[in-house]
């Protein structure tokens, strides 16, 4: 098998919802050879998708604002996924706004969505006029980067990076 074949196989695996398997062999038991054969399909787990669903802006003044970032996590798996934590960096209008870690364990139902609220107070003196300009509009571009933290049975804690950019409405 060439390197290209391996890369092609991995690419195909990542884009599929199921992976076929075919196992066969022989058990050696008390001098007897017992053949076995089984085949089927296994679901290929996918990481939840993440989007900044909305940003609520309250208490907007010349000195600052209170924000509520609403992140939507979408599980496209035919089984529930438990997220043990979320590390995030959120930028809006090209300006870093918030960095943090949530250690709350959250279950995302099979083929379901949940929202995670992240409250944050913005000080315009600290962030500058550009933050005021971003928040005074109707919408803005955003970028959210970080890691999803899972507890994988038999392995322990695993961190999977994510990155998402888009546009979000500012609800006032």
What are the extents of the domains in the chain?
3-43, 49-171
Express each pLDDT in 139-161 by its tens digit.
999 999 999 998 877 777 889 99
Beta pairing class for 106-108 and 64-74 = unpaired
Looking at residue 45, its pLDDT comes to 81
Q: What is the pLDDT of residue 61?
A: 83
pLDDT of residue 89: 93
- The stretches in the chain having pLDDT less than 50 are none
For residue 154, the 8-state DSSP code is: T
At residue 2, the pLDDT reads: 55
Q: What is the reported pLDDT for 150?
A: 87
Distance between alpha carbon 81 and the CA centroid of its chain, in Å? 11
Q: How does DSSP classify residue 48?
A: P
- At 70-84, the pLDDT tens digits run 999 999 888 888 889
In the chain the first and final C-alpha atoms are separated, in Å, by: 58
Whole-number Å distance between alpha carbons of 1 and 4: 8
Alpha-carbon gap, residue 139 to 145, rounded angstroms: 19
CATH architecture of 49-171: Sandwich (2.60)
The pTM assigned to this predicted structure is 0.72
């Amino acid at each position: 098998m060439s390197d290209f074949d391996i890369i092609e196989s991995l690419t195909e695996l990542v884009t599929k919802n199921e992976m076929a398997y075919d196992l066969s062999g022989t058990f050696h038991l008390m001098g007897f050879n017992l053949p076995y054969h089984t085949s089927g399909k296994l679901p290929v787990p996918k990481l939840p998708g993440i989007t900044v669903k909305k940003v609520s802006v309250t208490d907007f003044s010349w000195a600052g604002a209170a924000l509520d970032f609403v992140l939507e996590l979408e599980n496209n798996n035919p089984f529930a996924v438990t997220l043990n934590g979320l590390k995030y960096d959120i930028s809006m209008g090209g300006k870093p706004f918030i960095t943090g870690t949530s250690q709350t364990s959250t279950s995302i139902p099979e083929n379901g969505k949940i929202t995670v609220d992240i409250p944050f107070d913005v000080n315009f003196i600290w962030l500058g006029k550009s933050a005021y300009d971003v928040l005074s509009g109707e919408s803005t571009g955003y970028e959210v980067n970080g890691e999803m933290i899972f507890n994988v049975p038999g392995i322990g804690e695993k961190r999977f990076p994510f990155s998402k950019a888009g546009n979000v409405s500012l609800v006032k």
